[in-house]
Structure 1
Amino acid sequence: MGLRGAIVAMSPERVIGQHGGLPWHYPADLKRFKRLTLGATIIMGRHTWESIGSRPLPGRRNVVVTSKQLTEVACFASIDDALATCIGDVWFIGGAQLYAEALAHCDLIDVTLVPDRVDGDEVVFFPELNPEQWQAGPLQTFSDDKRLSRQRYWRRAGT
């Protein structure tokens, strides 16, 4: 088994989505997401699958954790069942419910911090990280979009 990570873009308030989609659009973040996930398995929940148009992202093995059976993609009832079929690197790509369960399986979390403030209804959040479990790496500004920053969190030894 290779790397197991979560990859997420979030606001300062940990917002990751609204109304079933991303409440922002940053090409530099999408480019980074593609670069990091190409060639890997990406695991997502059904709502994330629907938010990307119910079509597999090319160049990656797409897996959906859901109780429903979908014909266009590999489906599993649990994260454990999905991981049992994985070889190589695995990225959990959302949404909120999947992240909450998947963090226990992750070695690292790759975060893009967007400057947007998101208000209103149907807002979903990334789980709060326990600093006793996760060590924050340095905050770095994107070279191709100064509005964005990135930060990695590594699981602390023994947690």
Structure 2
Amino acid sequence: MITIIAAAGENNELGKDNDLVWHLPDDFKRFKKLTTGHPMIMGRKTFESFPKPLPGRLHIIITRSKKYTPKVPEGREQDVIVVNSIDAALIKASIDTTPFIIGGGEIYKLGIEVTDRIELTRVHGTFEVDTYFPEFDKTQWELVLKEKHEKDEKHKYAFTYETWERI
């Protein structure tokens, strides 16, 4: 089951200047819990936004560049694969039954047609961004889980976890 995982604002805002525009520690914990042990498909910019590869996950990077060599700490080379298409990424990810597509915006657009599930954290606010989550036809999807998280001392914005499954 291929799963997209994303956090997006009320108008599908994802981020600006290759970074998130909110800080939601509980959402980070959920991301870690869901993705650990599974391959993650991402674009080059998303990979480069991490200080280093995330532990316990294979990073499959999609880039148009045939010469791209990611900066990877010594001993972590086996945690990173570079491919040039979503199809190649899905083939590499097929070693696992639950690969995740983790962004950015262009990779979400490529992956939305082949995805079985969307784990969407809807951040309740509007934001100035340069990257957006793609619109998806909700008539082709069923909302199977909706869990609200209120604003608190650690979270400047309220948000809702939504799990969508393709019908």
Structure 1 residues 13-28: aligned runs within 5 Å:
13-28=11-26
2:57 pairs with one of 57, 60, 75: 60
77, 85, 99: which one pairs with 1:78?
85
In 2: Cα distance, 1:143 partner to 1:83 partner: 35
Aligned with 2:116 (options 85, 104, 107): 107
Report the AA paired with residue 100 of structure 1. K
Give the letter for the 2:18 counterpart.
Answer: G
Alignment-derived partner of residue 76 in structure 2: none
* Residue 126 (structure 2) pairs with residue 126 (structure 1): no
Point out the more displaced range, 62-71 or 104-113: 62-71
C-alpha distance in 2 between matches for 1:70 and 1:116: 37
Q: Which amino acid in 2 is paired with 1:10?
A: A
Aligned residues of 1:92 and 1:99 also touching (Cα < 8 A):
yes
| Preserved contact between residue 42 and residue 104 of structure 2 (Cα < 8 Å) | yes
Q: 1:37 aligns with which of 35, 41, 56?
A: 35
How many residues align? The count is 151
**C-alpha distance in 2, partners of 1:34/1:143?**
20
Structure 1 partner of 2:104: 95
What amino acid does structure 2 have at the position aligned with 1:93? I
Pair 1:154 & 2:159 matched = no
CA distance in structure 1 between the partners assigned to 2:13 and 2:151 by the alignment: 23
Q: 1:128 to 1:12 in 2, by over 3 A?
A: same
What CA distance in whole angstroms lies between the structure 1 residues aligned with 2:40 and 2:151? 25
State the 1:129 CA deviation.
1.0
Give the Å deviation of 1:114.
1.3
Structure 1 Cα separation of the partners of residues 99 and 16 of structure 2? 25
Deviation at 1:116, TM superposition (A): 3.0
Equivalent residue of 2:4, what SS? strand
Which residue type is aligned with residue 150 of structure 1? Y
TM-score (norm 2): 0.83
Q: Deviations over 1:69-112 (max 9, x none)?
A: 22433100011111112211200000000000001111000001
Q: Mean Cα displacement is larger for which, 70-79 or 3-12?
A: 70-79
Counting aligned pairs with the same residue, the percent is 33
Give 2:58's aligned amino acid: R
Q: Provide the aligned C-alpha RMSD in A.
A: 1.8
